[in-house]
A and B are shown apart, each in its own frame.
Chain A
Amino acid sequence: MSLTASRKTQHEPYVLPVAQGRAFFDREARRVTGMSGEEFLRRYDAGEIAADDDTPEGRETGYLILLIPFGR
């Protein structure tokens, strides 16, 4: 399928610069867990983070885990 030129892409670049991505992840980690992004990643890598799909907090943690590539 070819898209019409008028609605093909957005104006901004798709790739988020690393520093902006880390800042974004840090804000989300603090909002969801109260931890900094760095601390969340450290605890995630240590196997200390569980995303319990049966609680609101666990579901938001699961959402955050999928954003991890922004935080690395």
Chain B
Amino acid sequence: MAGSTPEEAVDAFLDRVWLTLDCLADCSVHRSPPVQERYAITAFERATGAQNLLTLITHDGTGEVLFRFSHLYRVTHVPDDEERRPYQVRTLAYHYRILDVEDREIALYHWHPEGSGPVITPHLHVPAAAPIQMAQPFTSSRQDEKTQIGKMHFPTARIFLEDLADLLIRDFEVVPNRDDWQEVLHDNRVATGPRLT
């Protein structure tokens, strides 16, 4: 998100984050003070006061799924960019966590370019996926070996909160918190522009 001042850029970005999360649950969004020019974001559920834990209602009110996230960004000054105003919010890292009501990991979208792990590009974990036995050539010594799908790092594009909201509503059958959620997500995607990292 961009702005003519750093504050304007941050407000536009946080407006977008709040609108996206408001599609899922009644919550407020908050940012940290800057630490080495980096800011973190969290969300508080209004009804329960739960901090960074959104309990999302699914399947017409008969189920629940949990969502936690952490997201780091900074504000950059790009004075020569005429199309985007000079101050831009740039995402530095994210963890988007879809969990069941016992806090077990279902699907996790990660991007932590400064992390210590072997995969620092955007990726997806599906820890809930059971090991599978892949068919192998008849003579293979791996006939009885299981493939650990739940431990893999599936590469992804840069994932946005709008993508998560879409996934949660369409596939996890989260009951939207607002009727205009499709319009909101569409408008936010247009405002975000290209998927730049």
User: Using a CB–CB distance below 8 Å, which chain A residues touch chain B?
Assistant: 1, 3, 7-12, 14-16, 18, 21, 24, 27-28, 50-54, 56, 59, 62-64, 66-70, 72
Report the bound CA distance from A10 to B34 in whole Å: 21
Contact with A along B70-107 (1 / 0, CB 8 A): 11100000000000000000000111010000000100
- Find out whether the CB atom of B116 lies under 8 angstroms from the CB atom of A70: no
- Find out whether the CB atom of A66 lies under 8 angstroms from the CB atom of B117: no
- Find out whether the CB atom of A69 lies under 8 angstroms from the CB atom of B116: no
B158 interface contact, C-beta 8 A: no
Give the residues in chain A near B72, CB-CB below 8 Å: 66, 69
Contact with A along B38-77 (1 / 0, CB 8 A): 1110100000000110000000000000001111100000
Look across to chain B and name the residue whose beta carbon is closest to the beta carbon of A50.
B116
- Find out whether the CB atom of B117 lies under 8 angstroms from the CB atom of A16: no
- Find out whether the CB atom of B125 lies under 8 angstroms from the CB atom of A59: yes
Given A24-B52, A62-B112; A70-B68 close (CB under 8 Å): no
- Find out whether the CB atom of A51 lies under 8 angstroms from the CB atom of B184: no
Q: Which of B15, B32, B33, B151 contacts A8 (CB 8 A)?
A: B15
- In residues 94-141 of chain B, which contact A (Cβ within 8 Å)? 94-95, 97, 105, 108, 110, 112, 115-119, 125, 127
- Find out whether the CB atom of A72 lies under 8 angstroms from the CB atom of B35: yes
- Find out whether the CB atom of B127 lies under 8 angstroms from the CB atom of A69: no
- Find out whether the CB atom of A70 lies under 8 angstroms from the CB atom of B32: yes
B28, chain A: closest CB distance, angstroms: 4
Give the residues in chain B near A18, CB-CB below 8 Å: 33
- Find out whether the CB atom of B31 lies under 8 angstroms from the CB atom of A14: yes
Report the bound CA distance from A67 to B72 in whole Å: 8
Q: Which of A1, A52, A69 contacts B40 (CB 8 A)?
A: A69
B30 interface contact, C-beta 8 A: yes
Given A63-B68, A67-B70; A7-B95 close (CB under 8 Å): no
- Find out whether the CB atom of A9 lies under 8 angstroms from the CB atom of B70: no
Q: Pick 7 A–B contacts, CB within 8 A, sort by A.
A: A3-B15, A14-B10, A14-B11, A14-B14, A15-B31, A63-B95, A72-B33
